[in-house]
């Protein structure tokens, strides 16, 4: 996926049957969100941009890795996407008060991409749960996706605050 054009990646998602699934799509959303955070951080300086770029690389790795044959492995890979996206959102939240008009727009763009990442990853986990019968695995995964609604609300709040800020 890393060496493909954007068009090729989208064609692979659009192909019926095989190709990347929800986890890969969620990871690409997370990578995009982290990239926007890195861009916003460039105007502020500090370590935030480096941290965002590290998260972008982790997300890209999750988009391209094979999660394994077991449904629990696929679900755990999607949970990892949620964790990466939440960390990137935390960085975006710290940047928002410091940014100028251009960088806060990037912060809002990041928040929206990260909101898509966690929502998509949660659905991927839930789709794997159907095939997971081990009670401990199910409980672990259900606990892991429990914070997603809060992350979605945090991302929406970042976007709302930025929109208000740019309309002043």
Query: Quick one: fold of 20-166?
Result: 1.20.120
Instruction: Please give the Cα distance from 154 to 93 (Å, whole number).
Output: 9
First to last CA, the chain: 41
Q: What is the mean pLDDT of the chain?
A: 92
**Residue of 65 and 150 predicted with greater confidence:** 150
Reported as a pLDDT band with limits 50, 70 and 90, residue 18 is low
State yes or no: pLDDT of 19 exceeds 70. no
Every domain of the chain and the residues it spans: 20-166
Q: Are 34 and 88 contacting, i.e. CB atoms less than 8 angstroms apart?
A: yes
Check residue 168 and give its pLDDT. 80
Residue-wise pLDDT tens digits, 70-127: 889 999 999 999 999 999 999 999 998 887 877 899 999 999 999 999 999 999 999 9
Q: In sequence order, which ranges of the chain are alpha helices (DSSP H)?
A: 6-14, 22-42, 48-64, 71-95, 101-129, 135-145, 148-166
State yes or no: pLDDT of 67 exceeds 90. no
């Amino acid at each position: 996926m890393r060496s493909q054009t954007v068009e090729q990646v989208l064609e692979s998602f659009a192909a019926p049957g095989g190709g990347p699934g929800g986890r890969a799509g969620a990871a690409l959303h997370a990578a995009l969100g982290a990239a926007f955070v890195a861009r916003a951080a460039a105007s502020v300086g500090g370590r935030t941009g480096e941290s965002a770029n590290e998260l972008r690389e982790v997300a890209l790795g999750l988009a391209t890795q094979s999660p394994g044959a077991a449904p629990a492995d696929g679900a755990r890979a999607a949970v990892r996407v949620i964790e990466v996206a939440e960390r990137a959102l935390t960085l975006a939240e710290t940047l928002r008060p410091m940014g100028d008009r251009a960088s806060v727009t990037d912060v809002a763009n990041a928040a929206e991409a990260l909101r898509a990442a966690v929502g998509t990853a949660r659905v991927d986990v839930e789709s794997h749960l159907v095939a997971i019968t081990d009670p401990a695995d199910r409980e672990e995964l259900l606990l892991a996706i429990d914070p997603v609604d809060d992350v979605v609300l945090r991302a929406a709040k970042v976007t709302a605050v930025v929109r208000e800020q740019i309309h002043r």
